[in-house]
Amino acid sequence: MYKFLVIFIFTLVAPTAWSQEKSLADYEKELNELSIEIISNTNDEAKQISNQKFKTLLKEVLTKKESFDYPFKNIRAISILSSNNKVKIYNWALPYSDQTYEYFAFVQLKLDKDIYKVTELIDKSAEIENPESKSLTDKNWFGALYYEIIYNKKLDEHTYTLLGWDGDYNLTNKKVIDAMTIDSNGKIKFASPLFKNGKKSKKRVIFTYSETAVMSLKYHEKESRIVFDYLVPTASNLEGIFEYYGPSLNRFDAYQLDKKNWQYQTDVDVHLDKNLKDRFYNSPK
């Protein structure tokens, strides 16, 4: 009699328990715990296991349309950028013990009132030669950890300019300016030659400098320009050896928005902007 009573109670309770879905706050808590594991584990294999769990869980929650308006502010080791109420980027780095990094990102798009799309960006930066001239997609992304997204209809209503950091390896860091274009079907490309310097153009701009230096790369919205430190070697005989490059003390250059391009400008006046140095530190750790 007792056995049948237990079975009867189980059949009443179990469907109710199973039918309770995790809330977005529950997802957020679990994602935060996994993100901390990614950066705190000292073993690379353990980091990769935590990272795979994190990526799978994040993709699962992002397929829920209500997640687009949820801030996810309590996930420690992730950068979340949004723009134009149409695009959100969830972006993080996996730091390895040899001081290299692998980057991960999901782009969440709101294509229409109730139409959403999630696209994973696959970091292939280690395999890309001459990346400043290459047309790339979500399948072969030049990975970085983005800290600013710039949207201006004057450039193109489907284009978003991204500022990012790349840990490169133990002697150098990189800062990156890239342009992400999204068509009406949500297809993503990183292929626009928007960065002009005279008659020359680039599809992305990459700055390489010493791991011990701090380079500023920041958008000045009021002037519609991206201002950055002019990089120089510590001695003239070290030109081209980027482990010895750092900011010049008295010069800033910029990319100025002009019609549908970013035009290079040298030695711009920054009016002693106290906030010129962006807060993005050397290491995502």
User: What does the domain layout of the chain look like in residue ranges?
Assistant: 139-285
pLDDT of 21 reads 84
Closest by alpha carbon to 197, among 265, 247, 250?
265
Contact 281, 167 (CB under 8 A): no
Give yes or no for a contact between 278 and 217, defined as CB atoms under 8 angstroms apart: yes
For residue 176, the model assigns a pLDDT of: 98
Give the closest residue to 134 by CA, choosing from 146, 126, 142, 143. 142
Which residues, 6+ apart, have CB-to-CB distance to 186 below 8 Å? 109, 111, 117, 119
Residue pointed to by tokens 């081209």 = 240
Cα separation, 57 vs 44, in Å, equals 20
Q: What is the spatial distance between Cα 139 and Cα 94, in angstroms, rounded to a whole number?
A: 18
The whole-model pTM stands at 0.89
Query: What residue ranges of the chain have pLDDT lower than 50?
Result: 1-19, 272, 276-282, 284-285
Beta bridge partners of 229: 252
Look up residue 278 and give its two tokens: 């962006």
Task: Please tell me the predicted confidence (pLDDT) of residue 281.
Answer: 40
pLDDT for res 146: 98
Q: Are strands 261-265 and 195-197 parallel, antiparallel or unpaired?
A: parallel
Provide the pLDDT for residue 202.
98
Given a contact cutoff of 8 angstroms between Cβ atoms, the answer to whether 80 and 62 are in contact is: no
pLDDT for residue 271: 67
How far apart CA 223 and CA 271 sit, in angstroms, is 12
